[in-house]
Amino acid sequence: MKVRFWGVRGSIPSPGKHTVRYGGNTTCIEVRPDDGSLIILDAGTGIFPLSQSLFPEFPITAHIFNTHTHWDHIQGLPFFIPFFVPDNRVNIYGVADPISQKGIREILDTQLQYRFFPIREVELKADIAYQSLVEAEVVHIGETKITPVLMNHPVINFGYRIDCNGKSMFFTGDHEPPSNIYTPDDEEYKEYQSLIEQKNKGMIDVIQGVDVMIADASYTPEEYEAKKGWGHGTYDSNIVMARDAGVKKLYCTHHEPTRSDDDLEAVFEAALERNPRQEGDPECFLAQEGLTIDW
């Protein structure tokens, strides 16, 4: 299995001299199982340079799995070059909105309105199909199994576990560890805490033992105190989650857009010092645009 990062920033693209090493594009991850199938996790601005790399493979079949519909995870979708070339096929997967009952197709429908983009969906040349997912509903692509997992974010966000021939990975999308909205002296505290513990256990069970976990580590613990409820994790919370799940390697992503490369390395090193690696703990890395993981 091979994984390549095409976008690792969160919230908004952050190009410039201070983000050259780790990159300024927003979330997009290319996954190639052993059979060479093209699986893409999220369509942030990183999907545009990814699509430029695909010309030698045309015509292609691409499978785009959207974690959620916040702008930084869909912004590059209209610029995905295979859409504009005949004989390509693009399958787009994601969550259906439980309130409006609208499916994943609404993302492209909305983005390709004339007031937002000069090309309409009907003008695209590729064969495009949509599949709305529900939690734990497995998608099979050849020998590869993709399992959506409900995470914690202000809108519905699916993390994805990908398994192929004994190799595995998990991507959280945007995720904040659930916390109790009640204080210990409230009557509802214990019941709510029990629900949180059940949810966390179920999440750990799904992630258990993956070779690679790619996780939303936007904040330091100090920053998180002012940003609770925004739907993002910390370096520390992800190290703990990866350790509890027996993950082999953890890659921290969704880098804070105001953080320079130097600052990013500094806060990451501080997190490693707060969480010294013990025997059996995962190796921890910063996700970097252009970085390829092959195992």
Confidence (pLDDT) at 180: 82
Q: Which whole number is the average pLDDT over 160-166?
A: 97
Structural domains of the chain, count: 1
Confidence (pLDDT) at 273: 97
pLDDT at position 134 over 80:
yes
Confidence (pLDDT) at 192: 84
139 versus 105: the higher-pLDDT residue is: 139
Q: What is the pLDDT of residues 79-115, one digit of tens each?
A: 999 999 999 999 999 987 776 777 888 887 888 888 8
> What is the value of pTM for the model shown?
0.96
45 versus 187: the higher-pLDDT residue is: 45
Confidence (pLDDT) at 33: 97
Q: What is the pLDDT of residues 18-33, one digit of tens each?
A: 999 999 999 999 999 9
pLDDT at position 164 over 90:
yes
Confidence (pLDDT) at 107: 81
**Across all residues in the chain, what is the average pLDDT?**
95
Confidence (pLDDT) at 40: 98
* End-to-end Cα, the chain, rounded Å: 6
Q: Which residues pair with 141 in a beta bridge?
A: 144
**What is the rounded CA–CA span in Å between residue 128 and residue 153?**
28
DSSP E strand stretches across 20-77: 28-32, 38-41, 61-65
Q: Any idea which residue has 């499916």 for tokens?
A: 103
What CA–CA distances, in Å, run from 268 to 106, 234, 263, 292? 37, 10, 8, 20
202 versus 292: the higher-pLDDT residue is: 292
Q: What is the pLDDT of residues 53-86, one digit of tens each?
A: 999 999 999 999 999 999 999 999 999 999 999 9
pLDDT at position 225 over 90:
yes
Q: 120-128 contacts: CB < 8 A, separation 24 or more?
A: 124/83, 124/84, 125/83, 125/84, 125/85, 125/86, 125/88, 126/82, 126/83, 126/84, 126/85, 126/86, 126/87, 126/88, 126/89, 126/90, 127/88, 127/89, 127/90, 128/83, 128/89, 128/90, 128/91, 128/92
Confidence (pLDDT) at 122: 87
Please give the residue range of the domain that contains residue 180. Answer: 2-294
Confidence (pLDDT) at 207: 96
Confidence (pLDDT) at 25: 98
Phi/psi class of residue 237: alpha, beta or left (left: φ > 0; alpha: ψ in -120 to 50)?
alpha
Q: Which two tokens stand for residue 258?
A: 């105001």
Q: Which CATH number characterizes residue 242's domain?
A: 3.60.15.10
Confidence (pLDDT) at 171: 98
